[in-house]
């Protein structure tokens, strides 16, 4: 059965093409910065937005159907799996990501939910074998069901914690069964609405306990992928514990989990935390925890998580600059955690949205490579810090300078006589000249 009948395989046609169903910048086999674009970008499809989300919001019902011609919920799930692989094949996407509840609907009991997961996992495994597609990461949806209204790992009720642990155990098992390269923790409802009812210390200790148990269990059953935490400052809770990369790093270090986890950085979550996407990536890179990316963008005029397909090429260029500087992806990749707008309600729109996002990242990669070979920006930054390469600066960096020595140096100097311009506007124009 073919689900997207009027759409064929999307091919690269180059930027002169006006065929909406063609890539203009993403040429999978072209080598950019030493690897093929396919290897550099490692695109993934998000099962939840692409295969499941029907466009509902808090003011209205869905505008698209994701039933794939079936009526019974397990038949829908089966058809969905086949449709997902057709879509990935047509878009030439090699990876996918899912929550447990995206692939199989929750049953009346945990045992039934698990049996449903086994049934769909077997189908996905077969489809992966046929197509060569891979699982970038799996995760558990520990936020949608009402039992998680006060959180999962950070719930005040130990029974909820136990249920979440059981759900995560199964999600880790199916991720392992499918050869997943990663397992994600996203905070879901792990945060709080008011400190008047919250024991923040216990909640965070418990979250760390759950993460430690998950890592130990996953390794014991042969999971060799990476673990990720995905920072987000707010939504659904007022305050999410995994606020941003810096906050998550402090948490991981406190609980001695920093060897086990890397970051999954989402663009829209960065801007919700009042950071740029590049900032979050830089913090991760500088601290050796850069892992994977949820590619999307927010809306400058809206303060919530709109999960739009990424089309802003400045952002994708600066993102790919960080990725290249980090040495490229290892087990991570670019997962389109993005959905079409509610008004873009046809399956053609989904294809057009992926093409737009993939082309925006392909452009970003091409520009990032040019930024690095052009060298003006890197050279400027290196020269800006040149005073740390000799004399007193070198002593500071080497850790041999003392306060007394620095005082003597400053007294002798009188005052600082040279302070070179930061040239922000010039650098922004350099970036434009590289881009256009
Ligand atoms: C929600 C998150 C979520 C994670 C996976 O805002 O982006 O979709 O990526 O649970
Ligand atoms: Ca995400
Ligand atoms: Ca998001």
Model pTM score: 0.98
Ligand 3 center–CA 383 separation, angstroms: 38
- Distance from the CA of 186 to the center of ligand 1, in angstroms? 6
pLDDT band of 4, cuts 50, 70, 90: very high
Distance 266 CA to ligand 3 centre (A): 7
Percentage, residues of the chain above pLDDT 90: 100
Ligand 1 contact via 230 beta carbon (within 6 Å): yes
pLDDT, one tens digit per residue, over 86-126 is: 999 999 999 999 999 999 999 999 999 999 999 999 999 99
* pLDDT on residue 234: 98
Nearest CA to ligand 1 atom 5: 186
Predicted confidence at residue 359, as pLDDT, reads 99
Mean pLDDT of 373-384: 98
Ligand 1 pocket check for 307: Cβ under 6 Å: no
Give pLDDT tens digits for 218-269.
999 999 999 999 999 999 999 999 999 999 999 999 999 999 999 999 999 9
% of the chain residues with pLDDT over 70:
100
- Catalytically active residues, by annotation: 99, 102
pLDDT, tens digit, 9 for 90 and up, residues 285-312:
999 999 999 999 999 999 999 999 999 9
Check pocket membership of 266 for ligand 1, CB cut-off 6 A: yes
Positive or negative torsion for Cα 259, 323, 339, 53: negative
pLDDT of residue 302: 95
Which ligand 1 atom is the nearest neighbour of the CA of 141?
10
For ligand 1, is residue 305 a contact (CB within 6 Å)? yes
pLDDT at res. 350: 98
Averaged pLDDT of the chain: 98
């Amino acid at each position: 059965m073919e689900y997207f009948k009027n759409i064929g395989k999307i091919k690269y046609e180059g930027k002169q093409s006006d065929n909406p169903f063609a890539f203009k910048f993403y040429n999978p086999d072209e080598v950019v910065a030493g690897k093929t674009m396919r290897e550099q970008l490692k695109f993934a499809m998000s099962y939840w937005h692409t295969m499941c989300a029907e466009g509902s919001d808090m003011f209205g019902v869905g505008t698209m159907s994701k039933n794939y011609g079936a009526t019974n919920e397990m038949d829908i799930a089966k058809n969905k799996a086949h449709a997902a692989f057709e879509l990935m094949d047509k878009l030439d996407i090699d990876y996918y990501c899912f929550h447990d509840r995206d692939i199989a609907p929750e049953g009346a009991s945990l045992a039934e939910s698990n049996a449903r997961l086994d049934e769909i996992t077997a189908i996905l495994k077969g489809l992966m074998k046929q197509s060569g597609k891979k699982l970038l990461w799996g995760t558990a949806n520990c936020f949608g069901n009402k039992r998680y209204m006060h959180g999962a790992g950070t719930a005040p009720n130990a029974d909820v914690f136990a249920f979440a642990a059981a759900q995560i155990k199964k999600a880790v098992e199916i991720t392992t069964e499918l050869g997943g390269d990663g397992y994600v923790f996203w905070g879901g409802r792990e945060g709080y609405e008011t400190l008047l009812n919250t024991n923040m210390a216990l909640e965070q200790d418990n979250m760390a306990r759950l993460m430690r148990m998950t890592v130990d269990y996953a390794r014991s059953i042969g999971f060799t992928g990476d673990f990720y935490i995905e920072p987000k400052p707010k939504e659904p809770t007022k305050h999410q514990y995994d606020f941003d990369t810096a906050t998550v790093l402090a948490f991981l270090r406190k609980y001695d989990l920093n060897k086990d986890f890397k970051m999954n950085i989402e663009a829209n979550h960065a801007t919700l935390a009042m950071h740029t996407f590049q900032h979050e990536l830089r913090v991760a890179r500088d601290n050796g925890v850069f892992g994977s990316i949820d590619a999307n963008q927010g809306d400058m005029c809206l303060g919530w998580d709109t999960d739009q397909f990424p089309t802003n090429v400045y952002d994708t260029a600066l993102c790919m600059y960080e990725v290249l500087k980090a040495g490229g992806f290892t087990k991570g990749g670019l997962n389109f955690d993005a959905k079409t707008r509610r008004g873009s309600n046809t399956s053609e729109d989904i294809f057009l949205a992926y093409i737009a996002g993939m082309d925006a990242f392909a452009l970003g990669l091409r520009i990032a490579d040019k930024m690095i070979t052009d060298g003006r920006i890197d050279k400027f930054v290196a020269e800006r810090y040149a005073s740390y390469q000799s004399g007193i600066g070198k002593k500071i960096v080497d850790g041999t300078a003392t306060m007394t020595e620095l005082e003597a140096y400053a007294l002798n100097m009188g005052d600082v006589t040279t302070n070179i311009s930061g040239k922000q506007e010039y650098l922004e124009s350099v970036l434009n000249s590289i881009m256009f």
